[in-house]
Amino acid sequence: MRFATTAQDGTSFQYNDAKRWLWLVGGAWTFGVPYVAAAIFFATGGALWTVFLLPLHIFVIVPVIDYFVGEDRDNPPEPIAEVMTADPFYMRMIHILVLLGYASVIGGMWFVMSQNLPVWAGVITIAILGLHNGTLITLAHELGHKTNKLDRFFAKLSLGAVGYGHFMVEHNLGHHKNVSTPEDCASARMGESVYAFATRELPGAFLGAWRIEGERLKKRGHKLFSRHNEILQSNAITLVFAGGLIAWLGPQVLPWFILHGALAYWGLTSVNYIEHYGLLRQKMPNGRYELCAPRHSWNTDHTFSNIMQVQLQRHSDHHANPMRPYQVLRSFDDVPRLPSGYPGCIALAAIPPLWFRVMDPRVMKWADGDLAKANIHGPARPRLEQRWGGAPGANA
């Protein structure tokens, strides 16, 4: 769609948004993969082929498409960005994607419960479903920064499908405040594997969200366990959704639903791990951290995976400008860059020695060769100092 506007100084701007409908296509692709797994099952008469679908899609197909399609560093002119921000079409796309996510969960649960799959095939199917439906948390990430009731409801609805109701509270009021500091449970440290990070991030996000929400409610004169608790509001949606699945498919669906949510959590944790790995905001003389800037987030402009993730990968602009909607997030030249889109980096992170080999030199380049300027994982410090030199930094 072509946008046109005139600035206050009389300058005319035109811009063609070639990705306008691709957000829906990308989301349908993501949520459609479990249906492809089911189609393979029905076509072949067996579950064996589905074993290869998850790693093939996440670790091969998407990175290969990203490689050949390349990067999109196009930014709409700022006067056009204002027009695009005001266009309700883009948020309606997100609402539709949330509903597609629910269809994916419902269809996947029906498939597992109705086809008498062997346990191993059920687990693999739910793994495909859960990891792809981690995108529901990505949608909640976009919606949760909005202030209107409809978008915030859809954010809670999106989180309700995977049982991650505390995300919006911790992300908005915890992660955005402490990002790229040792105080942030969702900022990975240099030398920390994704598995070690998960043991810190998953419980830290849960406990942090309840602490933040408790303080917020107390200031407003509300009890923690009340209808005003936004975590409980989303959790109530999860209970209703799970109850509906149980009433329809039987109580045996509950373990599969829980496993599905756990794998969606892992998908989010893997993304969180790569977004700020090793990056550190420096402390100023007054003891406060410097303001979050685009350079404090890893960025990637790989076109295909960015469309799948509603431009979450333009993470540098998001953290510097949290209220800026996904369709107008900007690409910057002077920000740290990932070697691939998120799917490729998730595959890389799953093999820590390979991740460290690729990413640690990038962190050190970002830190101008000074290890003290990076966010360091304490147990890895001796190894990192031996490799990169330098005196111990202030962070632990």
For position 392, what pLDDT does the model report? 46
Give me the residues paired with residue 13 across strands: 5
Cα–Cα nearest to 231, from 177, 162, 173, 159: 159
Residue 385: how many other CB atoms lie within 10 Å:
15
Q: What is the largest CA-CA distance in the chain?
A: 68
Residue 357: how many other CB atoms lie within 10 Å:
11
Domain ranges of the chain: 2-367
H helix or E strand, kind and range, residue 12: strand 12-16
Name the token pair of 333.
């030249």
Residue 51: how many other CB atoms lie within 10 Å:
16
94-137 per-position pLDDT tens digit: 999 999 999 999 999 999 999 888 888 888 889 888 988 999 99
Cα–Cα nearest to 69, from 103, 10, 19: 19
pTM for this prediction: 0.91
CA distance 283 to 289: 4
For position 60, what pLDDT does the model report? 87
For position 396, what pLDDT does the model report? 42
What does the buried/exposed string (b/e) look like for 283-304 if buried means 16 or more CB atoms within 10 Å of the residue's CB? eeeeeebeebebbbbbbbbbbb
For position 336, what pLDDT does the model report? 96
- Positions in the chain short of pLDDT 70: 47-51, 390-396
For position 89, what pLDDT does the model report? 96
For position 43, what pLDDT does the model report? 83
252-281 per-position pLDDT tens digit: 999 999 999 999 999 999 999 999 999 999
Cα–Cα nearest to 140, from 179, 185, 95, 102: 95
* Average pLDDT taken over every residue of the chain: 92
The CA dihedral of 165, 167, 168, 171, to the nearest 10 degrees, is: 170
